[in-house]
Amino acid sequence: MAIKILALNGPNLDRLGKREPSVYGSQTLADIERQLSELAARLGVELECRQSNHEGFLIDWIGAAQDDGFAGVLINPGAYTHTSWALHDCIKGAGIPVVEVHISNPAARESFRHQSCVAPACIGTVAGFGVQSYALALQALATRLKA
Ligand code: CA2
């Protein structure tokens, strides 16, 4: 059975490519998801991509991921990264590895972005490599799941 990975994007990431290209690049979320799906096929894993602006949807999806047959999760939680202990708790209880992804490097930005609520619950974080952060995170997670 193929390894299934769930790729989640949080609030405002549906607007990528439309604003702030100097920080987040000019690719849209659809571009990123297409490239990530192509990479997943090359890596021999199945990928499902979802986005929500609502914290509760992200929590529901992570909470159900293992029962839904996913072996791991990639998540860019957007600004919930810095506020959501609810996401932290659900990642802790997910039962499968979760990797945090960021396009920018939050540690090099405003001080309110320096804390990640989700990082302590994740197996790792990839940040600061532009949209390539997603590909690096997928490669790392797929390697971990195949090991
Ligand atoms: O660097 C990242 O990936 C972030 O998760 C992006 C979040 C930000 O709050 C985090 O600190 C770091 C924000 C995403 C908002 O993206 C927009 C893109 C275009 C237009 C408006 C927002």
Tell how far the Cα of 13 is from the centroid of ligand 1, in angstroms. Answer: 6
Q: If you average pLDDT over residues 79-95, what whole number do you get?
A: 98
Measure the CA–CA gap between 14 and 22, rounded to whole angstroms: 17
Burial of 95 (0-12, 13-18, 19+ CB in 10 A): exposed
pLDDT at 22: 87
28 residue type, one letter: T
Full-model pTM: 0.97
Q: If you average pLDDT over residues 40-69, what whole number do you get?
A: 98
Grade residue 76 by pLDDT with cuts at 50, 70 and 90.
Answer: very high
Ligand 1 first shell, C-beta below 6 A: 12-13, 15-16, 18-20, 24, 76, 78-79, 81, 102-104, 106, 113
Write down the domain spans for the chain: 3-146
Q: Whose Cα sits closest to atom 3 in ligand 1?
A: 102
Using alpha carbons, select from 50, 46, 29 the residue that is nearest to residue 38. Answer: 46
Tell how far the Cα of 79 is from the centroid of ligand 1, in angstroms. Answer: 7
Grade residue 13 by pLDDT with cuts at 50, 70 and 90.
Answer: very high
Average pLDDT, the chain: 97
pLDDT of 19 higher than 90: no
How are strands ordered across the β-sheet holding 72-76?
Answer: 46-51, 4-9, 72-76, 98-102, 124-127
pLDDT digits (tens, 9 = 90+) for 56-71: 999 999 999 999 999 9
Tokens of 35: 């490239």
pLDDT at 104: 97
Query: What CATH superfamily is the domain 3-146?
Result: Dehydroquinase, class II (3.40.50.9100)
- Atom in ligand 1 nearest the alpha carbon of residue 23: 1
pLDDT at 63: 98
Grade residue 118 by pLDDT with cuts at 50, 70 and 90.
Answer: very high
pLDDT at 18: 87
- How many residues in the chain? 147
Tell how far the Cα of 57 is from the centroid of ligand 1, in angstroms. Answer: 18
Helix (H, G, I), strand (E, B) or coil at 21: helix
- Ligand 1 probe mutation, 8, 13, 28, most atoms within 8 A of CB: 13
